[in-house]
Amino acid sequence: MPRVILLGAGRAGGFHTTSISQIDGLDAVCVADPQVDRAAEYARRLGCAVEADPAKAIASYDADALIVATPTATHTDMVKLGFAHGLHVFCEKPLGLLDDIRECYGASREAGRELMVAFQRRFDPEFRAVRAQIGPQRPQIVKLTSRDSPMPSAPYLQSSGGIVKDCMIHDIDIANWMMGGDETHAVPTRVSASAYTHHPMLKEIGEHEGVAATMQYDDGALAVIDVSRTCNFGYDQRAEVFGSFGMIQLGNRRESVVVSHGGDGAAFANPLYSFPQRYPDAYRAELEHFAAVVSGETECDVRESQVVAGEIICNALNAALDTGAAQDVVIA
């Protein structure tokens, strides 16, 4: 059974704690976070040790793997530290800038240890059902909507890398996966994007509030993605896939399945509040997959080429936002 050290006891550390506590094949040995009170609470739930210093945790505990759920800007250093100590590493998205990504995978090969980046949406049973229905067919249009709830704090946003790399990266990964046909993923050849910001706090810190992007693939097929930093009715996560085969729709999971019909129309419950409520199955399944990868039972579904392509596409979309011009996607 792989023994894991969890770094970071914030929001992502919280859902990973829940998953680890539910997975028979994973055993936590330590939770580390400079905010040691938070780490202590998660360690209590997992029945393991607690440390304030992540480097000390990695150096002191007998473990097989590291789960990195720390702020985005720390990922590369934590991943490399894990490999330096011979650990397999599971890291939250985004892994880092292009050079960082390549260095991390290089360090993974050098250490002979696995690296998995957390694209949990691919492990969600409903997104998987949509992908299975598409099968080898190529959709003509994939439409994805992802609206965050609640709006993250200003300090989080300022170190997140921006909405494209922090949020849209999930949709980019899913669009490429749904367009993948017989292959696991396709990569668009050209992208464009536009943004707006109305919220005063987001204006103050120079963060986009909403972005709409198109990604065009080699045969002209389109992915159309809209994301928002905030949504006043819940965590809005929808997909629609259209092609010569028809249309597949994925709606929101809601707080209740009760629908009240009356003279004024029908009332549905809101979508679930946030990502821990919407994606518990996906968060559990991605760590189950990681446990199987570490145990040598299967190959990692999240590949270096896909992570590299995701970062290159994010850079092209950010360039499209900065310049107002569509950008070619060049995988070098």
Ligand X SMILES: NC(=O)c1ccc[n+]([C@@H]2O[C@H](COP(=O)([O-])OP(=O)(O)OC[C@H]3O[C@@H](n4cnc5c(N)ncnc54)[C@H](O)[C@@H]3O)[C@@H](O)[C@H]2O)c1
The contact set with ligand X (CB under 6 A) reads 7-13, 32-35, 38, 54, 69-72, 74, 78, 92-93, 118, 120, 156, 166, 275
| Minimum CB distance to ligand X, residue 19 (Å) | 11
Angle, helices 98-111 vs 304-323, to 10°: value is: 170
| Minimum CB distance to ligand X, residue 9 (Å) | 5
User: How many CB atoms sit inside 10 A of residue 264's CB?
Assistant: 6
Q: Between residues 113 and 278, which has the closer beta carbon with respect to ligand X?
A: 278
| Minimum CB distance to ligand X, residue 118 (Å) | 5
Q: Between residues 159 and 194, which has the closer beta carbon with respect to ligand X?
A: 159
Q: Between residues 9 and 130, which has the closer beta carbon with respect to ligand X?
A: 9
- Which residues have CB under 8 Å from 52's CB, separation 6+? 32, 33, 34, 36, 39
Angle in degrees, CA 100, 19, 234, rounded to 5: 85
> Computed over its alpha carbons, how large is the radius of gyration of the chain?
20
Q: Between residues 156 and 268, which has the closer beta carbon with respect to ligand X?
A: 156
| Minimum CB distance to ligand X, residue 260 (Å) | 31
Q: Between residues 131 and 165, which has the closer beta carbon with respect to ligand X?
A: 165
Q: Between residues 93 and 143, which has the closer beta carbon with respect to ligand X?
A: 93
| Minimum CB distance to ligand X, residue 170 (Å) | 7
Q: CA 150 to CA 177: how far, in whole Å?
A: 27
Q: Between residues 93 and 131, which has the closer beta carbon with respect to ligand X?
A: 93
Angle, helices 125-134 vs 169-178, to 10°: value is: 30
User: How many CB atoms sit inside 10 A of residue 276's CB?
Assistant: 15
Q: Is beta strand 210-216 parallel, antiparallel or unpaired with respect to 190-196?
A: antiparallel
Q: Between residues 209 and 221, which has the closer beta carbon with respect to ligand X?
A: 209
| Minimum CB distance to ligand X, residue 80 (Å) | 12
Residue, CB closest to ligand X = 10
Q: What is the DSSP string of 61-126?
A: S--SEEEE-S-GGGHHHHHHHHHHTT-EEEEPSP--SHHHHHHHHHHHHHHT--EEE--GGGGSHH
| Minimum CB distance to ligand X, residue 25 (Å) | 20
Q: Do the beta carbons of residue 239 and residue 231 sit within 8 Å?
A: no
Q: In what order do the strands lie in the sheet with 210-216?
A: 246-250, 236-243, 141-147, 222-228, 210-216, 190-196, 327-328
| Minimum CB distance to ligand X, residue 246 (Å) | 30
